[in-house]
Structure 1
Amino acid sequence: MLFFNYFPGSTAMIKRMMMSALFLGAPLTLCAAPDSAPDGMMSLSAQASAQVPQDVVHITLFHEQQANTAAPLTAALKQKTDQALREARAQKQVAVHTGTLAVYPSTNRDGRITGWRGRTELVLESNHFEAAAKLAGKLTSILQIGDVRFSLSPKASRAAQQKLALDAIADFRQQALAAAKAFGFSGYTIRKVNIGYNGAGFEPRSMRMSAYAAPAPSQAEVPVEGGKALVSVTVSGSVQMK
């Protein structure tokens, strides 16, 4: 049995095929070419977003020093770090970890080493702003404040995303129904849907001080007022109007 697909505008070709089929004595069947996609398909996108208060503070403290040789300088920086760590670990509300510890040479115009410079850092992290500010103020007797940053915790980000996802899905459904009715359909069926999340990353607001800035005057002046992070959820996909 021979099968031929019918395409508009190909009448002459079909006649030649029919004559060949009749000559060969074979039965003939004509089939309409299927459409590439069903009618009534529609793509949509909806988004919900909100400014969420940043609930984690990150305070970096540092100490910089110079020396003629590298080994004593490294030992002095380590001593400062250990002293600050002992003070910081005496409490439980603020997490503490070391940051950068670097020792590098100072050179003259001829490229000869004339001395050594070094820097050590200590980072405080907590969602208890008052406790972090108090500890940072206490540690300014040992270290200087380098910067203060704020971020959104994973827990707060997930809670915001879950709420926004419901809002974005409701908006997607409302758009789909309204568009279907506007095109003369009574409803729709969801064919494909994707949900995307944004804003879970680190979005800092920072206060920086220069490398040789004077120590922070007092605990009360440490800035611990966080800002807000933008969290958004996007729902996109396609529906079949019916």
Structure 2
Amino acid sequence: MKQLVAAVLLSFSALSSNAIAEPPTVYDRMAFAVIAEKEVPNDMLTAILYAEQQGQDTAAMADSINQTITWALDLAKQETAVDSSTLNYITNPVYTDGRVTGWQVRQNIQLKSKDSKILSGLLGKLQEKLRIEGIHYSVSPEVKAETEKNLIDQALKNFKERADQLKAGMGRAEYRIVRLDVQALGGESPQAPMYRMAAMALDAAPAPPSLEGGKQNLQVNVQAEIELSIQ
């Protein structure tokens, strides 16, 4: 029994000595950010068009709007490079001197395409009966996903290089990650070019709009916080 107690005390003493001899590593925290970016073309064009009528016979106006939208969709479906869909259908009262004197009926359609030439030609035809509310440009989901995948790899590489630089510059042996936030930016830039058509009589179809999507930067931003060992 005495031998067992002595052995336990000896082991405790050894552990205590090791704990004193090897204190826990202490770290200093540093925060920084790195970015990876690439300029890519706006390869997706989205056009919003609408048919609109004002009057008092809402049933007759609705029928006319429906026929116009059906005509437009049938025309759009002839272009396999264009995706078409209907959007909101709205009926609003028209006021004169605070009284309802009529109604406004309106429906929108949306067209999406990567082929600016085909979309421009289709818009020229559709303007015979519809008006263009706006056209905006963006990066297609496929290009965006593939670009972001590569940019994430590059951003993480940039993070490692910066962390190693800080570690070496501060003369520290190691670092550990405290926080790592990865955020993808771009693809639907509010600065993307926008085409708008002023309201006008539709007695004759206007010339098709000239479409040029331009480019924009896609970015992956890494916000990091690391701890540098003091020892």
Instruction: Give the TM-score normalised by the residue count of structure 2.
Output: 0.77
1:11-43 alpha-carbon deviations (Å, 9 max, x no partner): xxxxxxxxxxxxxxxxxx9x99xx998234443
Letter of the 1:52 partner, please give it: V
Q: 2:141 aligns with which of 136, 154, 158?
A: 154
2:38 aligns to what? 50
**Structure 1 pair 80–40 and aligned structure 2 pair: CA distance change class (3 A):** same
Letter paired with 2:217: L
Write the deviation string for residues 166-195 of structure 1: whole angstroms up to 9, x where unpaired: 322222222222222222235545565332
Matched letter for residue 185 of structure 1: R
Cα separation, 2, equivalents of 1:172 and 1:178 = 10
Which residue of the partner structure matches residue 103 of structure 2? 116
Please name the residue that 2:180 is paired with.
Answer: 193
Structure 1 segment 118-197 matched on structure 2, within 5 A? 118-186=105-173, 188-190=175-177, 192-197=179-184
Deviation at 1:107, TM superposition (A): 2.0
- Identify which of structures 1 and 2 has the higher relative contact order when contacts are C-alpha pairs closer than 8 Å and 6+ apart: 2
- 2: distance between equivalents of 1:191 and 1:106? 60
Q: Which amino acid aligns with 2:166?
A: A
The CA distance in 1 between the partners of 2:189 and 2:51, in whole Å, is 25
**Is 1:192–1:239's contact at 8 Å kept on the other side of the alignment?**
no
Residues 131 and 72 of structure 1, relative CA distance in 2, 3 Å threshold: same
- Paired residues of 2:29 and 2:225 also in contact (CA < 8 A): no
Question: Structure 2 regions of 5+ residues with no counterpart?
Answer: 1-15
Structure 1: runs of 5 or more not aligned: 1-28
Question: Post-superposition, which runs of at least 4 consecutive aligned residues in structure 1 deviate over 6 A?
Answer: none
Identity of aligned residues (%): 26
Q: 1:96 offset after TM fit, Å? A: 0.5
Secondary structure of the 1:141 match is coil
SS of match in other structure, 1:91:
coil
- Aligned 8 A contact 1:60 1:148 in 2: yes
Amino acid at match of 2:35: Q
> Is the Cα contact below 8 Å between 1:41 and 1:239 reproduced in 2?
yes
> 1:86 and 2:74 equivalent?
yes
Q: Which amino acid aligns with 1:117?
A: Q
TM-score, length-scaled by structure 1:
0.74
